[in-house]
Amino acid sequence: MVDAVLQAVAGDVPVTVKMRRGSDDSPAAEARFWAILDGAIARGIAAATVHPRTVEQKYQGPSRWPFLAGVKAHVGAFPILGSGDLFSAFDVLAMRRETAVDGVTIARGCIGNPFVFTQVQDLLAGRPALRPTAAQQRAAIARHWQLAVPFYGGEAKALPHVRMHVIKYGQYHPDPVWARTRLVTLRTPAGLLPLVDEVFADRFDADGDRELRPEHAVAPTIHACSE
């Protein structure tokens, strides 16, 4: 497959692969991981993303970052991107520190939090990471809805997909449990933006303390309820 893709793009674009550490925890599965990774690198891929859970694990159990560190040590200067358990900007910095990967790919951690990328940039620059304001969240959801409707082919088809993300936006609300309780009542396209205006009203920014700290980077209650 790697050969076919490389031949098809003929060097016009970089080709990367994304891999889990194996189908299961067996030695045979791990051996196949190394064979595939080494073979893909030898054929000329530009980088590899490694998720150190097995296929069998799905999303259960921790992502094994020590395995990721072993992958990076194995390939040397070849670019490796890490994935798995990156739910906040602080997790991104921790993964890079503990595994020496060249970069990361954020998946579930950006659902309801597209602000995480700016938060990472701020931490890397030595600035504090900030919670999004209510106005920023309203604007992001409105833009998300605007893009989703034509993508999914209408408001009715877009709503289930957007609703999942909107519920996740509640994770940085000053009262995340209340926010989720209100957001899960969303049932119709017409109710989306009025409900968002209610939950993410400007009054919730009144305390002025927006600095994000590791202990409250995400709200575990929200993740437990919605994943």
Give the domains, in start order, of the chain with CATH numbers.
2-110 (3.20.20.70), 134-226 (no CATH)
Tokens 């076919």: give the residue. Answer: 4
Sorting pLDDT into bands at 50, 70 and 90, what band is 227?
A: very low
C-alpha dist (Å) from residue 227 to 59, 111, 125, 215, 221: 9, 10, 31, 20, 10
Is residue 200 within 8 Å of 137, Cβ to Cβ? yes
pLDDT tens-digit readout, 148-178 = 999 999 999 999 999 999 999 988 888 899 9
Count of CB atoms within 10 A of residue 118's CB? 14
Q: For the chain, how many residues are written?
A: 227
Q: What angle do CA 219, 225, 227 make, to 5 degrees?
A: 95
Q: What is the DSSP string of 13-65?
A: S--EEEEES-SSSSHHHHHHHHHHHHHHHHHT-SEEEEE-S-TTTTT-S---H
What values do phi and psi take at 82, rounded to 5?
-100, 150
pTM, entire model: 0.84
Give the per-residue pLDDT at 217. 59
Percent of the chain with pLDDT over 90: 74
Q: For the chain, what is the radius of gyration of the CA atoms?
A: 20
Q: Cα(195)–Cα(204) distance, rounded to whole angstroms? A: 14
Tokens 């550490």: give the residue. Answer: 21
Please give the structure tokens belonging to residue 223: 């993740």
Q: Cα(108)–Cα(165) distance, rounded to whole angstroms? A: 10
Give the per-residue pLDDT at 206. 55
Task: Please name which of 123, 136, 126 lies closest in space to residue 89, comparing C-alpha atoms.
Answer: 123
Q: How far is CA 81 from the centre of its chain?
A: 13
pLDDT tens-digit readout, 131-143 = 899 999 999 999 9
Q: How far is CA 114 from the centre of its chain?
A: 9
pLDDT tens-digit readout, 11-33 = 889 999 999 999 999 999 999 99
Count of CB atoms within 10 A of residue 204's CB? 15
